[in-house]
Amino acid sequence: MFGAVCVLVAGWLLLVGMRGALAEESAFRSAPACTSGTRDAGDSRDPRDPRDANCLRTVTVRIDRTDEVKGHKTPTYRLYVTEPDGTAHRTHLHGSPREAPLAKPGTTVEVTSWRGLIRYVDFPTTRRPTLADPTDEYRLFCSLGLGLAFYGAAFLWGGYRLSRRTPHTLRAYSWQASVTVAGGLCLTLLGVTAPWFTDTAGSALRLVSVGTPVVLIACLGAAVVLKRRHRGDDTLALTPAVPTEEQVIGGRVLGATPYADGGGGFLVVGPGYLASTPDPTGTTLRRETPGTLTPVRVRPPYTTDPAGRPHYGGRALVLECEDHGEEVLVVTRRQHMPTVLGALGHPHHHTDSPVLP
């Protein structure tokens, strides 16, 4: 559902928002300079007032004052000006009035209006567009539209792949999902940035049309490699690292045994010692694992694992253990699993060295 909504919003942004912005920019670029009585055919506004005309009206004005706009990431300020006939106007510009070009009260500048709004200001040394300048407004619509289109498509494809996942695929984080996420993010980034690195909407779309097959081919190559790598058993070969001193790491002991933690979230590991605890310092409420706990294998997380298994941002590993026929799982981050193996495999903890891959 979320992916479909993203695609629908993207369609509106590209087909309505961007097309409207491009049409307004084209009209602005082709607008003639105003002359006495200049109007567009069918314009119902007062022909005696040229301020709302569909032509470029340039007039010399005096700067009355400026106000800096607070709370914007990009510095912005309001410019207040008055025409010779006393008509007052206000417009917004990027930057600061204290930086070049200076916008000092009393300074004479030229402002150019189109359809009732000031579109740019000619300072004595340079021209500055206002926030009402329609030039390149299509970029935002195009960027958001393309980004949401690819983002939504990635969600739809991921949902389709998830619905077709075979029952024996137990991995919580399958390689298919990883490829989909990586490809979707790359395409989304391509769509978001393309309008800002090109000159026109057409060139942005051409860049996307060229970049999309490249990303898809890279994803296909990655899928082939990962499929070959993940054939067969999910058992991971890790070298145990016996801890030389006691340390506290993130992890949980899950199972039906009395020493399985009740949501502690931390493990205390040392030479021949493993315990779970809710104390980040590891000094209180320890539940020590017995010497009968035997490691079986290290594997990725499964969707069938007990509820409450920590994820660690997709970096968790699971150590399957056995204690008198009961399955016990030790979950920790990938980087800490060798230390857990070393603690359980230490001779002080087990009389027989466990058989690990």
**pTM, to two decimals:** 0.67
| Residues 214, 293 within the same domain | no
- Residue 9 lies inside a defined structural domain of this protein: no
Q: Is 312 helix (H, G, I), strand (E, B) or coil?
A: helix
Give 100-125 pLDDT, tens digit per residue. 999 999 999 999 999 989 999 999 98
The one-letter amino acid code at 97 reads P
CATH code (residue 312): 2.30.29
Number of H helices, E strands in the chain: 6, 13
Residue 130 has pLDDT above 50, yes or no: yes
Other beta carbons within 10 Å of 73:
5
- Residue 126 lies inside a defined structural domain of this protein: yes
Contact partners, residue 289, CB within 8 Å, separation at least 6 = 253, 259, 274, 275, 276, 328, 344
| Residues 287, 214 within the same domain | no
Structural domains of the chain, count:
3
| Residues 335, 314 within the same domain | yes
More confident residue, 306 or 42: 306
Q: Which domain holds residue 183?
A: 138-229
User: Which pLDDT does position 354 carry in this prediction?
Assistant: 40
| Residues 88, 156 within the same domain | no
Give 32-72 pLDDT, tens digit per residue. 998 864 444 334 444 445 555 689 999 999 999 999 998 87
Give 156-167 pLDDT, tens digit per residue. 887 776 666 554
What proportion of the chain, given as a percentage, has pLDDT over 90? 48
- Residue 204 lies inside a defined structural domain of this protein: yes
